[in-house]
Structure 1
Amino acid sequence: MWAKLITGLVVVYLLVAVGLGVYWSAEPDVWDVPRVVEQDAAALGKQPAIGFATTSTLIRLGNVLLDKPGGYISNDIAPPGLWLDNIANWEFGVLVQIRDMSRALRKDIARSQSTSREDVDLARAEPQLHFDNNSFWFPSTESEYRRGIQYLEAYQVRLLDDDVTNAQFYARADNLRNWLADVETRLGSLSQKLSASVGKEQINVDLAGDSAAKQSTQSPQEMRLKTPFTQIDDVFYEARGASYALIHLMKAIEVDFKDILEKKNAMVSLRQIVRELESTQQSVGSPMILNGSGFGLFANHSLVMANYISRANAAIIDLRRLLEQG
């Protein structure tokens, strides 16, 4: 009798866990950034100031990460969260972009020059958001990230204050270029890992362009790069998460840096970046990430994702060049 009862409970638990797993694996929807920014400003009884869109979007991305169905699951120690490595990697992709933007705000965008004082709330928010993303308790990852979001909210409130010495957001071309440079390196790395899903021979170009350059450890002239089979879906969903976050951040940048982008005639370039990133969010029509050869019978989802990521990255490079022009 006890054996049947225990077996029944286990079966029920597994069925519930599988059902929850399917529900928790659904990626959050993309939202209308300008409309949500207006709503957030109205909730505070203010008109959006320069920088409000970026800060509001960064805060909302953090809340989506923590409050989506199932909450934050990267640090779960029991099923179904323990089984859901795809959405956990999606979370990490979003998290990296949140961290990069919080750092850009602290070191560049909220400072008038390199020797000026950094904003106190941003200085507290950045290390909180860089806390271990896999800590279950003492303290939990969620509690540390929520504290970081609270510091961002404090900065946001001061940003709307009429006191010019309280908080600032400098929408300058050099600040935007610096952040785009970080995005460029992130997407470049993801593109390489996605492209390596089928394996490829690559010539070592680490020191190309500088005849006097040296490196700490000698590398072979040619090497074969291949993403391990068990990591292919991990990289794919990390790229989807990063693209999801960047779609919203780019739309916020379009609002806050509007004058700069229009002056440089770069608004179309930014929108093209968003268009390429939006292509990465299409529904996957397969229950698993396929890894066919480049010209084989079956699809290779990683190569398709790499194509969109590479095109977005190329557009970012073009945008940075436009911003460098006088």
Structure 2
Amino acid sequence: ALLVVALLWYGIIWFFSDEPDQFNVVNRALENAGAMDASDLVRGYVTTNTLLEVSETLLNKRGGYISNDILPPFIFMDNMPSWEFGVLVQIRDLAKAFRNDFARSQSQSTENPSLSEAEPKFNFDNDSWILPSSEGEYQKGIEYLIKYQKALSTNDPNAQFFARADNLAAWLSIVQKRLGSISQGLSASVGQVRINTDLAGDAEATSSAGAPGLVEDKTSWMEIDNRFYEARGHAWALIHFLRAVEADFSDV
């Protein structure tokens, strides 16, 4: 009987640990907008729709959102919650880019009200089970994004998307830092001793805690798989976001 239960739990864990398939961001945007050609879409629609699709996939994939589950067998799963966190971080970064850059003409311009409501919702704790739940807050963020998307598609002057090089560069700078951190975490799985480059070779630069000449990085063996699946989550979300901005920033 115990063997049957163990096999059943293993099967459930395996079933709900399957990562979602990738999707075509332009085709999904066309389908959602009811358009026939990408030229019929308003600028920014593909990126907005992709952010929505990735966010909805996070909540509605097979097994739903499990990072905050407290019941077995989900509480014993750590690979999928790590994957979910990687996706969530990318959602947070892009939502912030929408609020601060993509939807604003300049630094002194007014924020879009829907985006200013959406962005904090995605920054809610990722493991809150109830009152409020993580899924509930993220769903509210999705609903605010839908409001922005609808206003954008109807050419509402209060809902803009500015495909400018500086806006794109601001988001890519965040992506670069995320990828650097992920790369270091994965490299540390085998342990490494490296020269400290934190001060970038600046002889006059200082740090609050000092800067040793050599730094040893080593990820605990119990955390290696978590780092790996978190990196997969980052990559899954990011490949969709990059394809989306490629469509919306094609002329930049």
- Asked if these proteins are the same fold (TM beyond 0.5), I'd say yes
Deviation of the 1:118 alpha carbon: 0.6
Within-5 A mapping of 1:32-111? 32-42=24-34, 47-111=40-104
Aligned residue among 193, 196, 201 for 1:204: 196
**Secondary structure, counterpart of 1:223 in structure 2:** strand
1:194 maps to what in 2? 186
The count of residues paired between Structure 1 and Structure 2 equals: 249
1:221 maps to what in 2? 213
Q: State the Cα deviation string for residues 184-207 of structure 1 (Å, max 9, x = none).
A: 000000001101111111111211
In the alignment, the residues of structure 2 paired with residue 147 and residue 212 of structure 1 have an alpha-carbon distance, to the nearest angstrom, of: 47
**Residue type of the alignment partner of 1:79:** P
In the alignment, the residues of structure 2 paired with residue 199 and residue 64 of structure 1 have an alpha-carbon distance, to the nearest angstrom, of: 34
2:148 maps to what in 1? 155
Deviation of the 1:11 alpha carbon: 6.2
2:118 maps to what in 1? 125
Deviation of the 1:81 alpha carbon: 1.1
Deviation of the 1:135 alpha carbon: 0.4
TM-score by length of 2: 0.95
Q: Please, which runs of 5 or more residues in structure 1 have no aligned partner?
A: 1-7, 261-326
Deviation of the 1:12 alpha carbon: 5.8
Q: State the Cα deviation string for residues 166-222 of structure 1 (Å, max 9, x = none).
A: 200000011011100000000000001101111111111211332321111113211
**Residue type of the alignment partner of 1:64:** T
Larger displacement relative to structure 2 (218-227 or 50-59): 218-227
In the alignment, the residues of structure 2 paired with residue 108 and residue 258 of structure 1 have an alpha-carbon distance, to the nearest angstrom, of: 17
Is 1:179 aligned with 2:171? yes
Q: State the Cα deviation string for residues 222-259 of structure 1 (Å, max 9, x = none).
A: 12111111111111111111000011001111110011
Deviation of the 1:162 alpha carbon: 2.8
In the alignment, the residues of structure 2 paired with residue 241 and residue 12 of structure 1 have an alpha-carbon distance, to the nearest angstrom, of: 32
**Secondary structure, counterpart of 1:170 in structure 2:** coil
Alpha-carbon RMSD:
1.6
1:300 maps to what in 2? none
Q: Please, which runs of 5 or more residues in structure 2 have no aligned partner?
A: none
Deviation of the 1:52 alpha carbon: 0.5
In the alignment, the residues of structure 2 paired with residue 120 and residue 148 of structure 1 have an alpha-carbon distance, to the nearest angstrom, of: 12
In the alignment, the residues of structure 2 paired with residue 245 and residue 110 of structure 1 have an alpha-carbon distance, to the nearest angstrom, of: 21
Deviation of the 1:161 alpha carbon: 1.4
Is 1:113 aligned with 2:84? no
